[in-house]
Every structure is written in structure tokens, then in C-alpha cells.
Structure 1
Amino acid sequence: MKRIILLLITATLMSCGASKTIRDSKKVIKGDWTLSSINYSALGTYNVTLLNDASKACFEGSTWRFIPNNNTGTYNIDDANCSTGMRYFNFTLQEIDEQTGLYDFLLKPTNEKGKSDTNQGFRMSLKSLSDTNMQWQQTIYVDGKPFIINMNFTK
């Protein structure tokens, strides 16, 4: 009897997993991407450090790998003018509106073993996703006004 109850509870919990939108998105995200360009919602020159790591110039052209079955990934900065090398992260897709299919992308930098030194993460809106393009938007506030950072990826 206890086994049957345990089996029913397990089946119920498993059926409450990620939505179909999230499952489908993870299939598309899987693989290698290039962060091809970064732009801002306001004109001008800005000194922005992305993911508490590097500047826009360092991130443009960086290569990213997403492994959705364990929600991990890497990105590699190879610009000689920057601190180069492989970085590691965990990520989660979190649906915010089931009707529109909009969701957030949560990224948490880690070390090679998947542990975070700071336990700090970053929330971005996943604004578009196709088999060949993906766009994240991060909103920060400057002088009380929203400032949007668009990160454009190609596969």
C-alpha cells in the first residue's frame, strides 16, 4: 500500500513539471550560440559590465553552450583585450505568462563544478527565440529610468 501511495505522489509531482512552452524552448536553446551583438535602449556610450564579468566589447563574439538536460552552460570570451577563458553558469527558464508564452531567463555564474562563489544571479527576459536567433533583454535602472540591454545571439 505504501508503495502505491508513493508511486501516485511521485507521478503527480512529475506531471507538474515545466510547461510545454518551456520544454520546447529548452530544445531550441540546446547547443552552441554566438553573442553577436549587444545594444541599448538609449543612444550614447555607456560603460556597462555584463554579468559582473566584462564589458560589451568583450562579450560581443563570445561563444555560448547551453545544456538544458542539467540546466548548465558555458561561455568563452576570446578577445585578446579582455580577461579570456571559459566561464560556467546554471540557468533556468521561468514562465511568467502561460497565455503569451513569455518567460524569464535566470542565469547564475558558477565555477567549473557548478558552485556559485557569490550566489548572485541575473534575470533577463527571453524576448525572442527561433532555431537560429535568440534575444535576451535585461532592464536596469539609471537615475530612476529603465535602461534596457539587448543581447542578440545567433546559432
Structure 2
Amino acid sequence: MRKSLFIVLALALVASSCSVSKAAREQRNLISGTWNLDNARYENSSEALEAILFSDANILCFEGSNWFFRDNNSTGRYTLKQGSLCEGGDRYIRWSVQEPAAGGSQMQFKFIDADNKDISGGYGYRLNIAELGPANMVLKTPSSVNGQRVTVVLEFSKESENK
């Protein structure tokens, strides 16, 4: 009897430690949908810097990109437009919302293929959620560009669901 009770308590502890907080669930629900990346810029720098974001493309390629987040299976994609500096097309991701011990919330993602299989070797990216509302989202992440410490700022607007 004691052994069964111990197993049930251990399973309950494991299940509760893996659960997502109410705040993280609410943020996931707000993020779910289609977003346009209106502005990609740097804080802490007045220079015209050029950096490769997410080991993928020049920061300029991300402006005007389209992002889709599906919260029921944590998958999504972003689509870059083809240009002289940019290789256009879809990049598939698996994403989640995390609440680090230091406070705040972060969106993290890693690259997957069209069959939802990890192609990044477990490596991913974390962005601080600076603002999140029904129609706008601002994500920030510290970075180093040409040896200069900057903060990358990504400003999104949500597409209307009635399109």
C-alpha cells in the first residue's frame, strides 16, 4: 500500500513539475496565430550594423517577414521574402514560452523540418518577451555584433483573424 502511494505521489510531483504555468499558457494563447515582423532593429547602438539573426539571414531580411505560431502542437514557421541579400522561403520551428528563475518570460524556438523533426541538434534561441498584447509583440535578445554588445529588438503586429 505504501509503495503504491509513493509511486502515485512521485508521478504527481513529476507531472506538476513539467506543467506550464497559467501565465505561460496565457502568453502561448496570445502568441498563437500569424504575425508580421514590422521592425528589426538594435538598441544600444547608433551605428548601421549588419548581423545574421538565428544563424539564418541578415537582420534586414527579417523586416516584413511573416511568422505563424500554432499553440496546440508548439510548431510554426517564419517566411522571409526573396531579395538580393535574402534567401526567401519558410523556416519551420518548434516553440514554447519559458519563465526563467530570474523572472520575466521568454519565447524559445529551435529549427525543425517540414515533418517536425529537429534539425538543429537541440540548439535553439531564446528571446525575452518585452511586450505582448492581442495585437502587438516585442521580443528582445542581447547579442554581440562586430564585438559590440547590443540588444536585438523585433517588433511584431498580429494579423487579423478575419482575413
Partners of 2:39 and 2:154 within 8 A in 1: yes
Q: How many residues are paired up?
A: 153
Alpha carbons of 1:63 and 1:144: their partners in 2 closer, same or farther (altered >3 Å)? Answer: closer
Structure 2 residue aligned with 1:69 = 72
Percent identity over paired residues = 29
Alpha-carbon shift at residue 128 of structure 1 (Å) = 0.9
- Give per-residue Cα distances to partners, 1:43-68, cap 9 Å, x unaligned: 11111111111112211001110011
Structure 1 residue aligned with 2:95 = 91
Alpha-carbon shift at residue 126 of structure 1 (Å) = 1.1
Alpha-carbon shift at residue 113 of structure 1 (Å) = 1.5
Structure 1 residue aligned with 2:57 = 54
Displacement over 6 Å in runs of 4+: 1-8
Alpha-carbon shift at residue 111 of structure 1 (Å) = 1.4
As a proportion of its length, which structure holds more strand? 1
- Give per-residue Cα distances to partners, 1:44-95, cap 9 Å, x unaligned: 1111111111112211001110011211111111243321111101112111
Write the distance in 2 (CA, Å) between the matches of 1:143 and 1:87.
26
The TM-score with structure 2 as length reference comes to 0.81
SS at match of 2:119: coil
Q: Which ranges of structure 1 fall in alignment gaps of 5 or more residues?
A: none
> In angstroms, what is the RMSD of aligned CA positions?
2.3
Structure 1 residue aligned with 2:161 = none
Structure 2 residue aligned with 1:43 = 46
Map 1:1-155 → 2, pairs under 5 A? 13-16=14-17, 17-41=19-43, 42-81=45-84, 82-96=86-100, 102-119=104-121, 120-142=123-145, 146-155=149-158
Write the distance in 2 (CA, Å) between the matches of 1:129 and 1:8.
36
Partners of 2:49 and 2:145 within 8 A in 1: no
Alpha-carbon shift at residue 118 of structure 1 (Å) = 3.1
Write the distance in 1 (CA, Å) between the matches of 2:11 and 2:33.
30
Write the distance in 1 (CA, Å) between the matches of 2:101 and 2:157.
25
Alpha-carbon shift at residue 14 of structure 1 (Å) = 4.1
